[in-house]
Structure 1
């Protein structure tokens, strides 16, 4: 049976109501999300954990408007995603969301500065390059502005991706195994940076991870299994802050 997570005291920035996601496969239709209802509050840092194939990444893709729920209601930053077409969803991501994937997803023919400035250029921001430089300086890469991805280490590339995710000051940040391609020490540095930036900006962070030590640094841990929320735990540091 699905677990319905109680609404947090703060206004939710993400709300799922009986969300299902079905996708076709060679073996037929697969029920990936099977009736998820949950609220995630503004400013909350939430880890999503569970076995491979449980639906963690699919939950994030639906929350980011990158996959369309088969049924149920998805609200993000106060908008019902259901009626929005692809262009409207892209604008919502541009204006309110930042996304960090396990792969860095940098454009190889663009410098670090150009990669970070790109979403602001799409938004017709006249200060795109000034803001991108400030974002790169904030993640410790002010000396790498003109370097291309192939000239950067894995950790540096992920820092560029973090700068790009934060440059528009998003209300919601989605991170899917952001340290999966990094060694332990570099991964810790990147996560320290993510937590620091999220808390400094008051952004909501949804973090998909298999690392329970990392999950326990979050305000809340959601456990996903077989397309359902099967556990919801608020961490002591979050309870102490209430």
Structure 2
């Protein structure tokens, strides 16, 4: 497998992003002006309390929700300018997502689950590539097993294989260890970081756990819908002060 295509400049450019949703009490401001630049190959841990806007930010980056205002470019694409079909192609070609609750299709085998995004893309080698991906995460012996026949850790390994199988430039992981015990969660995170290193993929990790976020070279704290801290910005300020 080759590494994802890379290009000069940042992979993600967000400027003054806001995200509002309706409720019985009126409009609720979830993101209130988020600006963020993330380069190719970076690993970024995004932390913050529940309700701070972390998952909403991930949904915008994945093109699963649309920003209320502001601008967002991912992999050179202006997401606001894409219709739903174009957004689906964008996700298929550029993004892999690992959710807390696995999101596997229960009526499909592990092999079929991993092959699914490649089949949607019309890849005639979908099942060969899916088998290789499952072997890479240590599940070559579970190809024909259904999610209900797998442990939680095995299901999340299938989800990781599915996220990486198309070699996307961006992996979004939303609390990937949230439903796993500590030992299994650490094993899944080791796998996630190993694959990210192998393929040079940009990784954005949403987590409540500061120790997991610390495994990324950059940490961003979201609070009340805003960027409260960014280790990259802090490092830049320290470098300027030292000059």
Equivalent of 1:86, from 84, 87, 102? 84
Aligned-partner SS, 2:51: coil
- TM-score between the two structures when normalised by the length of structure 2: 0.92
Aligned position for 1:155: 153
- CA offsets per residue over residues 103-134 of structure 1, 9 Å max, x none? 11101110000000000000000100000000
- CA offsets per residue over residues 36-55 of structure 1, 9 Å max, x none? 11101110000000011000
- TM-score between the two structures when normalised by the length of structure 1: 0.92
Q: How many residues align?
A: 227
Aligned position for 2:62: 64
Matches within 5 A, 1:82-161: 82-161=80-159
Aligned-partner SS, 1:95: helix
Aligned position for 1:7: none
- CA offsets per residue over residues 156-178 of structure 1, 9 Å max, x none? 00000000000000100000000
Aligned position for 2:241: none
Aligned position for 1:185: 183
Aligned position for 1:222: 220
Distance in 1, matches of 2:197 and 2:31, equals 29
Deviation at 1:11, TM superposition (A): 1.9
Aligned position for 1:3: none
Matches within 5 A, 1:12-27: 12-27=10-25
Distance in 2, matches of 1:12 and 1:20, equals 20
- CA offsets per residue over residues 14-73 of structure 1, 9 Å max, x none? 110111101101211000110111101110000000011000000000001000000000
- CA offsets per residue over residues 59-91 of structure 1, 9 Å max, x none? 000001000000000100000001111111010
Distance in 2, matches of 1:11 and 1:188, equals 32
Structure 2: stretches of 5+ with no match in the other structure:
1-7, 236-243
Aligned position for 2:172: 174
Distance in 2, matches of 1:91 and 1:46, equals 24
Distance in 2, matches of 1:161 and 1:193, equals 12
Aligned position for 1:198: 196
Structure 1: stretches of 5+ with no match in the other structure:
1-9, 237-242
- Moved >3 Å (runs of 4+): none
> Which moves more between the two structures, 10-19 or 140-149?
10-19
Aligned-partner SS, 1:143: coil
Give me the CA root mean square deviation: 1.1
